[in-house]
Amino acid sequence: MKKTEERLQHEIEHGKKIQNDAESVWNWASPAGQVRAERRADLFVKTARITKNDKILEIGCGTGLFTRKVFQKTGANLTATDLSPELLSQAKELLPQATFIVDDAMKMKFPDSSFDVVFGSSVLHHLEMEVALVEIFRVLKPGGRMVFAEPNMVNPQILIQKNIPYIKEMLGDSPDETAIFRWSFKKMMASINFKNINIFPYDFLHPITPESMIGVVNAIGKTIEKIPVIKEIAGSVIIYGQKPKD
């Protein structure tokens, strides 16, 4: 219990620390970062088959970057949560059409079977992941879908960044965050009773890629994503699962 409370406090403090420059810290502000963000939002919508008729929850929304993108692409009914009041206040200003709530993704306020889709960008690796997955499963309606994008621990840079405290701090990570091994994560999801699980590596476009090189690097990266073994070192993974219908 103490460890959980410390983790929550670390994340709240981290939100205060980065509030004035969050999207740069998260590597979304650069030209390549903006291209990556657009593709990630497209993958959320496509993978989870999100439509305007869905009731959607985003956890760990931060400044609302992906809240806005998913809303723009679908017009769906959106609720978004984060631990940081500072980051949520920014999100509210930019998307008044959505509902924003301070909430703990490991102990959510919502009733059982509340949402058609739960999604998030780079949030599960900040949490006690199994606890968060149980909560996601609980708040999904029967037949509901979850889709997340998370850092891939098999990627060499991610492996170093998430496991060497000095580098983790230097690059703006919070103290407790880690990354995903897709095989063990799939087993965890199956143990909670998620079905139709699909976890795949993607994204070889580094956020510091010069603007003039984005098109070439992106095209090469999408080709590498199709190559067995080599694709495993991609920077991110997309995680999809479904709650059984009965």
- Write down all domains in the chain, each with its CATH number in brackets: 2-242 (3.40.50.150)
| pLDDT confidence of residue 11 | 72
| pLDDT confidence of residue 120 | 98
Check the CA dihedral 139-37-231-207 and report its sign: negative
| pLDDT confidence of residue 3 | 62
Kindly compute the dihedral angle of the four CA atoms of residues 8, 10, 11, 13, in this order, to the nearest 10 degrees: 120
How distant is the alpha carbon of residue 10 from its chain centre? 18
How distant is the alpha carbon of residue 184 from its chain centre? 18
Burial class (CB in 10 A: 0-12, 13-18, 19+), 72: exposed
| pLDDT confidence of residue 16 | 67
| pLDDT confidence of residue 149 | 98
Residues with pLDDT less than 50, the chain: 2
Take residue 64 and report the two structure tokens written for it. Answer: 């609302």
| pLDDT confidence of residue 2 | 46
